[in-house]
């Protein structure tokens, strides 16, 4: 098939100078959308449609090819292509005359994005990203897909397929048929046959050696550039270290976390992480800030602090939580999706400094010199004539003068024009934020983090959670409108389990169970024993999708498998817990062959099933205080349950003693003798 597409590779390699954008036009069919990304294109002269029957039916009736253009609001190159091409009247005329053009927000419709991104990787042999631009048949079957193009080269792409449709439409149909066939083949996950063979930690040990060998020994993270934070990979490594006590494994984590926290990828003034670094040393960020990154990194740094006690990790947790509350928080309780990479059309403009600007704000020459030395600021600049702040210089970042200097500079920076906020609220990403805040609360014992997690959870139950446990994916301007996908159900169920463990409020377990029940009814494929990404209530796309690969956000199936194991263990539903184990066995050949980089969350479930997973039940008036004392430690193999009374969980039955609080450390529902102190409980836990 690649040979059939080789003529298209030439198009991808083309490059041309940028041109001026066209004048604004009346609003197109995106005018009534709520996605900030779609609304950014509502005034384009291109007659954009949102994804839906109206556009697809029009393409069929008018016998036109589709242009499906996919991006997101914080995407720098999406904005560049809009200005160069989609605001240009010549480009618009070609697209309007010969195509039906559809704009997709990949964050609202990750199902569409996944299909066409896979098509891009197949048809262009790599080089794919956003904006993602697809040429497709009227029924949505992709012919070809590529990414950013300057204006003149985009016109060449359009003209090529326009002429091909006129001269050889059968050839286009052949391309689409073969590409769709490859999509179907790749998406048709075939799990391993059931087996009762015991799981062995030997597999994880060998795969861990391979994974740590991929970590940059100096700067951490996976070797090479650009560098993306991969929180789930390092969560796996933390758990592996806990069980193995292999210092090499811990070093792979701490080298990464130390370098990221010191680098330009971390906002040294306001906290929070950018999407990725363009270099191997975490110095130069791509300046967009995403909720899903920061929520997961909040969890990771909290867990690393529990394990190591390093003050810098606690500081990053506090600053990142403050960033979420300051910059991404909606007054109604949810969290927004992202901050744009650009300000006034210039990437990173809000965040960078000249040495003269720093001197002007700080005024005290000694303080300015110490700050500039610590944060690598030079007269010439360390990035395109300006300075990104990263802590590679001398001086003590904890010194009072530097802390005060950071506050002064942040106040000055806040007076600048700020990047736009993508203020849609996504269920799955907010679920990650709930889990991150629960982890921060456990590590630092700050009730405000637990309370903020509860507030977000209540918001989601009021806006996203519908009758019979159906979820919406998005919320904006008082309305929701897109059916949830598998990761919405799986991540929110996981967040509710986390909430139960820091509140002992059984309503969160009931809600998690309801989400699993709905997913079982509308997403589960009983023949394969896994979940589809899209609900049975939604229209099918051109290929099926059973997600198993853990990417920046872990796969919906790996999350749901852990949910089944944890929820079944806590509630005493052994069949549910065992189903999570069967899902792990179904991916073992892929895990063994491909390694942990794409299966790190499955690796965590492997830990759950091969090392003892303890149920720690705490019952009595002091249940909260004792739980906080135990949970301050990093205990990845412990599930907490309890409360001031016995509640309804079977493991808690007959464990309440009026006037006293007891801790029961249990394995497979068999409990050791009860104890009454944090220290005694930790001693029992350490016996395992």
How does DSSP assign 216-274, residue by residue?
-TTT-SBSSSSB---HHHHHHHHHHHHHH--HHHHHHHHHHHHHHHHSTTB-TTT--B-
Structure tokens at 141: 């079957």
Q: Could you give the percent of the chain with pLDDT greater than 70?
A: 95
Distances (CA, A) of 634 to 238, 260, 287, 440, 443: 9, 21, 32, 12, 8
Q: What phi and psi values does residue 353 have, to the nearest 5 degrees?
A: -135, 150
The residue length of the chain stands at 688
Q: In this model, does residue 266 exceed pLDDT 90?
A: yes
Based on its alpha-carbon atoms, the radius of gyration of the chain, rounded to whole angstroms, reads: 26
Rounded-to-integer distance, Cα 527 and Cα 425, Å? 34
Q: What phi and psi values does residue 671 have, to the nearest 5 degrees?
A: -110, 145
Burial class of residue 42, CB neighbours in 10 A (0-12, 13-18, 19+): middle
Helices (H), 464-599: 486-503, 507-522, 556-571, 574-594
Distances (CA, A) of 598 to 415, 432, 546, 592: 42, 19, 15, 11
For 491, the 3-state DSSP assignment is helix
Under the banding of pLDDT at 50, 70 and 90, the label for residue 255 is very high
User: Average pLDDT in the 46-59 region?
Assistant: 97
pLDDT tens sequence across 182-229: 998 888 888 988 787 789 999 999 999 999 999 999 999 999 999 999
Q: In this model, does residue 19 exceed pLDDT 80?
A: no
CA-closest candidate to residue 164, choices 397, 4, 274:
4
Rounded-to-integer distance, Cα 511 and Cα 469, Å? 8
Position 280 scores a pLDDT of 96
User: Average pLDDT in the 318-343 region?
Assistant: 97
CA-closest candidate to residue 71, choices 40, 98, 92, 33:
40
- Which helix (H) or strand (E) covers residue 684, if one does? helix 678-686
CA angle, 99 as apex, 95 and 103 as ends, to 5°?
A: 80
Rounded-to-integer distance, Cα 28 and Cα 43, Å? 6
Q: Which long-range contacts (CB under 8 A, 24 or more apart) does 172-176 make?
A: 172/65, 172/137, 172/143, 173/137, 174/4, 175/4, 175/5, 175/143, 175/144, 176/136, 176/137, 176/141, 176/142, 176/143
* Residues whose CB falls within 8 Å of the CB of residue 474, separated by 6 or more in sequence, listed in order: 34, 35, 108, 424, 425, 426, 427, 480, 481, 482
Q: Which residue has the tokens 């390699």?
A: 13
Rounded-to-integer distance, Cα 281 and Cα 96, Å? 45
Position 10 scores a pLDDT of 35
CA-closest candidate to residue 287, choices 217, 216, 236, 350:
350
- Average pLDDT along the chain: 93
Task: Characterize the bridge pairing of strands 65-71 and 132-136.
Answer: antiparallel
Under the banding of pLDDT at 50, 70 and 90, the label for residue 126 is low
Q: In this model, does residue 519 exceed pLDDT 50?
A: yes
pLDDT tens sequence across 468-500: 999 999 999 999 989 999 999 999 999 999 999
Cis ω before 592 (30° cut-off from 0): no
* Residues whose CB falls within 8 Å of the CB of residue 95, separated by 6 or more in sequence, listed in order: 46, 47, 67, 101, 158
Task: Characterize the bridge pairing of strands 530-531 and 524-525.
Answer: antiparallel
């Amino acid at each position: 098939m690649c040979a059939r597409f080789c003529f298209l590779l030439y198009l991808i390699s083309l490059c041309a100078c940028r041109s001026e954008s066209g004048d604004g036009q009346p609003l197109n069919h995106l005018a009534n959308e709520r996605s900030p990304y779609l609304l950014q294109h509502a005034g384009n002269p291109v007659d954009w449609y949102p994804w839906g029957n109206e556009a697809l039916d029009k393409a069929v009736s008018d016998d036109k090819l589709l242009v499906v253009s996919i991006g997101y609001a914080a995407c720098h190159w999406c904005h560049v292509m809009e200005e160069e091409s989609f605001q240009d009247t010549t480009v618009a005329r070609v697209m309007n005359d010969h195509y039906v053009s559809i704009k997709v927000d990949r964050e609202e419709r990750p199902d569409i994005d996944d299909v066409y991104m896979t098509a891009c990787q197949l048809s262009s042999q790599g080089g794919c990203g956003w904006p993602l631009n697809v040429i497709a048949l009227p029924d949505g079957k992709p012919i070809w897909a590529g990414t950013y193009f300057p204006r003149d080269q985009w016109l060449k792409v359009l003209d090529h397929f326009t002429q091909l449709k006129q001269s050889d439409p059968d050839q286009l149909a052949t391309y689409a048929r073969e590409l769709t066939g490859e999509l179907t083949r790749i998406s048709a996950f075939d799990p391993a046959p059931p087996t009762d063979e015991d799981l062995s930690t030997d597999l994880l040990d060998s795969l861990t050696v391979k994974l740590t060998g991929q970590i940059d020994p100096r700067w951490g993270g996976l070797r090479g550039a650009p560098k993306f934070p991969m929180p789930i990979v390092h969560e796996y490594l933390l758990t592996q270290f806990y069980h193995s006590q292999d210092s090499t494994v811990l070093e792979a984590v701490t080298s990464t976390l130390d370098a990221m926290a010191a680098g330009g990828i971390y906002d040294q003034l306001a906290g929070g992480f950018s999407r990725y670094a363009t270099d191997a040393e975490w110095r130069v960020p791509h300046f967009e800030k995403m909720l899903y990154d920061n929520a997961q990194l909040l969890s990771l740094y909290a867990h690393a602090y529990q394990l190591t006690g390093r003050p810098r990790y606690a500081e990053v947790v506090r600053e990142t939580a403050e960033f979420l509350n300051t910059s991404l928080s909606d007054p109604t309780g949810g969290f927004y999706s992202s901050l744009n990479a650009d300000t006034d059309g210039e990437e990173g403009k809000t965040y960078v400094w000249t040495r003269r600007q720093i001197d002007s704000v700080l005024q005290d020459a000694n303080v300015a010199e110490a700050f500039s030395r610590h944060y690598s600021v030079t007269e010439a600049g360390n990035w395109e004539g300006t300075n990104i702040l990263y802590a590679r210089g001398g001086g003590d970042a904890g010194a009072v003068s530097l802390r005060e200097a950071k506050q002064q500079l942040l106040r000055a920076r806040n007076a600048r024009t700020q990047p736009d906020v993508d203020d849609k609220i996504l269920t799955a990403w907010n679920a990650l934020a709930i889990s991150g805040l629960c982890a921060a609360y456990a590590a630092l014992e700050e009730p405000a983090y637990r309370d903020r997690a509860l507030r977000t959870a209540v918001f989601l139950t009021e806006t996203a959670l519908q009758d019979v446990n159906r979820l919406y994916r998005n919320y904006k301007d008082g309305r929701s409108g897109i059916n949830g996908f598998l990761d919405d159900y799986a991540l929110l169920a996981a967040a509710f389990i986390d909430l139960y463990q820091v509140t002992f409020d059984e309503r969160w377990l009931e809600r998690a169970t309801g989400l699993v029940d709905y997913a079982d009814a509308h997403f589960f494929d009983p023949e394969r024993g896994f979940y589809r990404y899209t609900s049975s209530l939604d229209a099918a796309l051109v290929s099926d999708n059973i997600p198993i690969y853990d990417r920046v956000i872990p796969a919906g199936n790996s999350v749901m498998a852990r949910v089944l194991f944890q929820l079944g263990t806590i509630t005493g539903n052994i069949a549910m817990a065992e189903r999570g184990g069967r899902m792990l066995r179904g991916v073992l050949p892929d895990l063994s062959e491909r390694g942990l980089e794409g299966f790190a969350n499955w690796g965590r479930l492997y830990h759950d099933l091969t090392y003892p997973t303890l149920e720690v039940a705490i019952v009595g008036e002091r249940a909260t205080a004792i739980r906080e004392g135990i949970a301050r430690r990093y205990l990845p193999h412990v599930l907490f349950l309890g409360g001031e009374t016995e509640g309804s969980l079977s493991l808690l039955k007959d464990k309440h003693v009026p006037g006293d609080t007891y801790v029961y450390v249990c394995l497979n529902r068999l409990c050791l003798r009860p104890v009454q102190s944090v220290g005694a409980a930790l001693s029992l836990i350490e016996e395992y």
